[in-house]
Chains A and B, each alone.
Chain A
Amino acid sequence: MAIVIFSSELQKLTGEEQTRVDAEVFKDIVTEISNQYSALEHDELMEMAVAIDGEIIHTPLLEKVAATSEVHFLYRISGG
């Protein structure tokens, strides 16, 4: 089961530092944690970027995670 590690910002909404998820695809992870933590907004999470095992992915809808993966939600960075 992959681990979702919450940033200090998200920890204010979840009350926890991390959680394990059953889901194996990003969109399903979002559904799972927004159901688990009522303060997390599903649509807002879907708009975030994610780091899976350190690799930053900006539009991760269908990204798969392994059972040992570490997942972080991030603000999307653009650039100049």
Chain B
Amino acid sequence: MSEAQEFKYIGQRTIRPDGFDKVTGRAAYGADLTLPGMIWGKTLRSPHAHAKIISIDTSKAEAHPDVMSVATFEDFVTLQSESVAGTEGASGVLDVARNCLADDKVLYHGHAIAAIAARTERAAKDALDLIDVEYELLPSVMDVEDAMKEDSPVLHDDMFTAGYDEKPSKASNIATRVEMKMGDVDAGFAEADIIVEREFRTPTAHQGYIEPHACTVTYDENGQSMVWCCTQGHFDVRTLTAKVLGMELGKLKVIASEIGGGFGGKTVIYQEPVALVLSKKSGRPVKMVMDRDEVFIATGPTSAAKLKAKVGAKKDGTITAMQGWMAYEAGAFKGSPMVPGVMTMFTPYDCPNVLVEGFDVVVNKSKVAAYRAPGAPQAEYAAEMVVNELAEILGMDPIDLRLKNAAKEGTQTIYGPKLKRVGLVECLEAAKNSPHYQSALPEGQGRGLASGFWFNIGGQSSVSINMNPDGTGTIVEGSPDIGGSRASMQMMAAEVLQIEPKNLKPIIADTENLPYSAGTGGSRTTFATGMAVIEASEKVVAQVKERAAAVWNVTAEQVEYADGVARNTAGEDSMTLAEVCKSAEKTGGQISGNANINARGAGPSFAVHLCDVAVDKETGKVDVTRYTAIQDAGKAIHPGYVEGQLQGGAVQGIGWALNEEYIYNSDGVMENPGFLDYRVPLASDLPMIETITVEVPNAFHPYGVRGVGETGIIPPLGAVGYAVGNAIDRKVEELPCSPPRVLALIQNG
């Protein structure tokens, strides 16, 4: 495979084929579909953080002339049947359903209770006031440490902590405990000359996609249904929605609209089953679009976390032991990304003695959803901060300390296997030689750096490449395009077919046009869907050779294919791809190649980020003055979109480190559910984000691709956090480094 491949099309900065629709406003997103007879759905949400639902009376709403249908959890009747209750993953499906519409309890402020469909959006909203809900208020628990206490109010009386040798007798908010270890940390710390130990806190932060969740659905008298929605995975929308409603997969068609950001937050369902119920009961197409505040209060943010990190090293910088502890908030239902946090925390380091313990804890906040390398940013933040402090105490350059202990091929991970070939060392060296690192830190500013690791995944992708009689073709694939992946699919197919990328049109098929394809996330698309595109393209080439061979009376092995032309190696004949396609009807039928794969061999992506900040000591405001993101892409198919992932991840991480957090009042109500006060980075906050794309090819992909989408959000928390501390000569422990916190640190020392 690909140590030094020469490519004809790969690696160029092509114009993405879907770009024209996007710069002109033609591209259709989740809220952009209108159907004849369509009505609007809106959701009634809990005003309380924790309460029993005594009764829901929808009669007045149903009697209103503008109201066409009403939905509650009662409409998800199938879940209450015994046949579903015992099946695999049943409790997971029940949690999903209860999050879409509350069952007997509301578990967070904003929890959906009922929905109304009416002739206009305003009428639906107004009619929500006609639904009477009787609550019995319960004490709420809003903080992970409080939730773990013996005497804490308990959200689920059937939750007994998994992961202890003996099942506890008392219900708890701790859903799961996990411990991973290797070697002997006690012995490791005993060997250490220096030990650094710190505690950290990270806030509840939201993925912050600009497009609110939206869908338009239909449900006909035969149960044939259609869901148009913005999602990272329309096949998964189909699976989950069908389970919640007890429908056959074949009756539910899901179309992925263009998507206005997801970052993991659009891999779950919220409105889709509710809208289908409203559509079924009214006989009309139903559109549901969340308001911005609903997105913040009722769709999964990522886990707030409490973390501890301890690292021990010899005077020469050899790390002898690393230990971590973390408690992640899952929100109202179990399932925070604590496990990946435990697995990734110290993975950038080759240390034989490591122990990490983690807890998945429920609290009265909205159920968390995946957010770009879920679980890793929080855990690796804690690790990177103590490693940086260790470097400072040792008087060692923080890059040199990392180089001395860097994970590489053969390094044993805490979660089991040894790493294959990876690019951390290359990223560290690129960081050291970068213009940023080589430049002196301006007077009064602070500098920080951090590394990051994410596994990346493979999984199922299905692709069909259909050739037209004129030699152009369509790449039919099932991965919603969240960042420009269609351009990469076009280039990978072009590379195999050896024709101009512009002659190949990539489209995202709906769930009826292709077999199951896993969602776009996990940094899998360029890797796994790309692999399927390559395989499908190779099948097209194989068919082309067979057809040409038949025409020339030779064997397929005697045909070579290069530069878009089939040549008879046993004679003088040649046919272009277009010519073979044109005569396809005469040589056996149309030419198309398909590949339905379960891709394995995803290569991890390591990253190193550098950050300089200036802190205004009177206001506590932090300005990022210089930032460099360095990451291993394996092979950058489209360098521009790879850089975009590095920059986008960096800026989300900067926001998380500097300003983003959910602020709750004493009633458990989020006080800042809008972009004014949930402060994401603006154009005026930032400098240019310098990028260095390292390429250490992944042997398992034909072109060496590693996913890059996620790792980039991990290093900023440590790079920015440490830079701020460096600028004000204080130890940063709690994120975000918002002005009030920075001022408090400066003033209280």
Are A and B in direct contact (Cβ within 8 Å)? yes
B262 closest partner in A (C-beta):
A80
Given known pairs A78-B374, A80-B370, the reply for A7 and B459 (CB within 8 Å) is no
* A69 CB to nearest B CB, Å: 11
Number of residue pairs spanning A and B whose beta carbons lie under 8 angstroms apart? 89
Q: Say what secondary structure dominates the interface of chain B.
A: loop
Q: Contact check, A78 vs B182: say whether CB atoms are below 8 A apart.
A: no
Q: Which of A12, A70, A78, A79 contacts B417 (CB 8 A)?
A: A70
Q: Mark A49-71, 1 if CB is under 8 A from B, else 0.
A: 00101111111000000000010
Complex Cα distance, B645 from A55, in Å, reads 25
B539 within 8 A of A: no
Max chain B C-beta neighbours (<10 A), residue from A55, A57, A73, A79: A79
| Chain B residues closer than 8 Å to A8, beta-carbon distance | 179-182
Q: Within 8 Å CB of B602, what residues of A?
A: 56
Partner of A54, one of B165, B179, B339, B420: B420
Q: Are A77 and B418 CB-contacts (below 8 A) given A8-B182, A9-B178, A57-B600?
A: no
CB distance from A80 to the nearest CB of B (A): 2
Q: Which chain B residues lie closer than 8 Å to A53 at the CB level? A: 417
User: Which residue from A54, A58, A74 sits with its C-beta under 8 Å from B419?
Assistant: A54
Q: Could you tell me the distance between the alpha carbons of A10 and B345 in the complex, rounded to whole angstroms?
A: 20
* Contact status A79-B374, CB under 8 Å: yes
Cβ contact within 8 Å between B370 and A7: no
Q: Are A79 and B600 in contact (CB under 8 A)?
A: no
Q: Which residue of B lies closest to A59 (CB)?
A: B598
Is A7 a contact partner of B416 (Cβ separation < 8 A)? yes
Given contacts A7-B415, A79-B374, contact A55 B180 (CB under 8 A): no
A55 CA to B339 CA, complexed, in Å? 19
B420: chain A residues within 8 A (beta carbon): 54-55
Contact with A along B164-181 (1 / 0, CB 8 A): 010000000000001111
Across the two chains, which residue of chain B brings its CB closest to A8? Answer: B181
Q: Which residue of B lies closest to A58 (CB)?
A: B459
Question: Are A7's CB and B457's CB within 8 A?
Answer: no
Q: Does A5 sit within 8 A of B, measured CB to CB?
A: yes
**A5, B374: Cβ atoms closer than 8 Å:** no
Query: Which stretch of B104-112, B427-435, B466-474, B516-524 is in the interface?
Result: B516-524
- Tell me whether A80 and B181 are in contact (CB under 8 A): no
CA distance A52 to B187 in the complex (A): 30
| A-contact 0/1 string along B354-388, CB 8 Å cutoff | 00000000000000011111100000000000000
Q: How far is the CA of A75 from the CA of B72 in the complex (A)?
A: 35
Q: Determine if B457 and A5 form an interchain contact, defined as CB atoms under 8 angstroms apart.
A: no
How many Å lie between the Cα of A9 and that of B162 in the bound state? Answer: 12
Contact partners of B457 in chain A: CB under 8 A = 56, 58, 77-79
Instruction: Please state if A56 and B417 are interface contacts (CB–CB under 8 Å).
Output: yes
Among A21-69, those with CB < 8 Å from B are: 51, 53-59
Q: Tell me whether B674 is interfacial, beta carbon within 8 Å.
A: no
B552 within 8 Å of A (CB atoms): no
Quick one: closest B residue to A10, CB to CB?
Answer: B416
What residues on B are CB-neighbors of A72 within 8 Å? 415-417
Partner of B179, one of A9, A55, A57, A70: A9
Interface residues as binary, B511-535 with A (CB distance below 8 Å gives 1, 0 otherwise): 0000000000111100000000000
- B455: A residues at CB distance < 8 A: 56, 77
**A73 cross-chain contacts in B, Cβ below 8 A:** 416
In the complex, which residues of chain A have a beta carbon less than 8 angstroms from the beta carbon of B372? 80
Interface residues in chain B, defined as those with a beta carbon under 8 Å from any beta carbon in chain A: 163, 165, 178-182, 207, 263-265, 267, 339-340, 343, 369-374, 415-420, 454-459, 521-524, 598, 600-602, 700, 710
Known A-B contacts: A77-B522, A78-B267, A79-B373. Give 16 more (CB < 8 A). A7-B180, A8-B180, A54-B417, A56-B455, A56-B457, A72-B416, A78-B370, A79-B454, A79-B457, A79-B523, A80-B265, A80-B267, A80-B370, A80-B372, A80-B522, A80-B710
Can you list 15 A-B pairs with a CB-CB distance of less than 8 A?
A7-B416, A51-B416, A51-B417, A54-B420, A55-B700, A56-B457, A56-B601, A56-B602, A58-B457, A74-B415, A75-B339, A75-B343, A79-B457, A80-B373, A80-B522
